[in-house]
Chain A
């Protein structure tokens, strides 16, 4: 299964405190991904999937993808026509203000091929988007039997997922929806707008592995990353999808040392190397492994230490594989 997330636009109609894209060093330029480029990426996914007899899925994200509703509709229609297995889109649900319009848009998108929709519902978004709008949009999608996901970003000072779900009333009654509670991490605007006392950190070093490379995330300028985590930085850039074929970017995601290391060992692998070099990492804990990954790759000593760690890992790995013959 080949999966790509297209950051359809960097624009958003709201300015959440926790946003990881807004005020990001790389991405908050208000750029849109032009429709011809979207089609070009989809064409390449079609070829790649056919070549490997696999399916492909496309997610539209941002920013707020529904700000470009006519383009979104066109893009979904094009992908469906070209055999996309799954098509999904994240939204803040602002377009549910008018229930009739919400049903019209949901109908059109679903008919065009969108089968999964994700709603961002949490205290941050609800500062700007009335929950009634989200409820209307949710109901419109539910009426069509669409797969629905709910993502809530939380901190120590926000409400947690059960309270948020409670506000949806009967919308979830007898309906299967995927819900995900995500600890806010200091990326983008959140890096300065949310104090460290608000982060929902757990003690110790996160042990969980990383998913780097199981998908591509492409930004409007073509910058391509191997994850949808919030550790987007130069170490993780795979290349520029505007000039490099997507097949090559998937190949890089599969074989790039840093991606393999993160998948097999997780960012925790780096920790002892920083400690041995006398550079202590923050001790107040981490929200998750993405938080640790970001901390490591943005560390002021990353330039010196990360290449050494990667070399060490590669050497160990090659010894493990070829040891009997060396």
Chain B
């Protein structure tokens, strides 16, 4: 289980490294392991749920717009 200090390290890495942030939101456990940090399933599921919520806000807005562009 990742400690609060380890979560802070992950947060800093997410802010500094775009690719890591992207990877972490997709697969928190795998990305955390790359930093030598172990997340529990509960922690990972919570993170994924919040990441989905954040992403969904953008997707809701852009989906119709983007699909109209792609189809043209």
Contacts and interface: CB of A to CB of B under 8 A. Distances in A.
Given A321-B47, A325-B43, A314 B14 contact: yes
Interface of B: 2, 4, 7-8, 10-11, 14-15, 18-19, 21-22, 25, 43, 46-47, 50-51, 53-55, 57-59, 61-62, 65-66, 69-72
A255 B54 contact: no
B14 A257 contact: no
Nearest to A86: B70
14 contacts: A209-B62, A209-B65, A210-B62, A211-B65, A211-B69, A255-B19, A257-B18, A264-B55, A264-B57, A321-B50, A321-B51, A322-B10, A324-B46, A326-B7
Contacts of A1: 70
A185 to B, nearest CB: 16
B17 to A, nearest CB: 9
Q: Which of B2, B19, B58 has the most chain A CB within a 10 Å cutoff?
A: B58
A264 B22 contact: no
A180 B21 contact: no
Contacts of A265: 58
Contacts of A263: 58, 62
Interface size class of A (residues with CB under 8 A): 20 to 34
A318 interface: yes
Nearest to A151: B72
A71 interface: no
Contacts of B14: 314, 318, 321-322
A265 B54 CA distance: 11
Given A211-B66, A251-B19, A326 B58 contact: no
A275 interface: no
Given A321-B14, A323-B50, 13 more contacts: A178-B71, A178-B72, A209-B62, A251-B22, A260-B18, A265-B58, A318-B11, A318-B21, A319-B11, A321-B47, A321-B50, A324-B46, A326-B8
Q: Which of B11, B65, B71 has the most chain A CB within a 10 Å cutoff?
A: B11
A3 interface: yes
A317 interface: yes
Contacts of B7: 322, 325-326
A299 interface: no
Contacts of A319: 11
A317 B21 CA distance: 10
Nearest to A248: B19
B39 to A, nearest CB: 9
A260 B46 CA distance: 21
Nearest to A207: B61
B58 A255 contact: no
B41 to A, nearest CB: 14
B65 A208 contact: yes
Closest 6 pairs (CB-CB, A-B)? A264-B58, A255-B22, A209-B62, A325-B7, A209-B61, A255-B18
Interface string A253-277: 0111100100111100000000000
Contacts of A144: none
A209 B58 contact: yes
Interface in A289-326: 311, 314-315, 317-326
A210 B54 CA distance: 16
Nearest to A320: B54
A149 interface: yes
A148 to B, nearest CB: 11
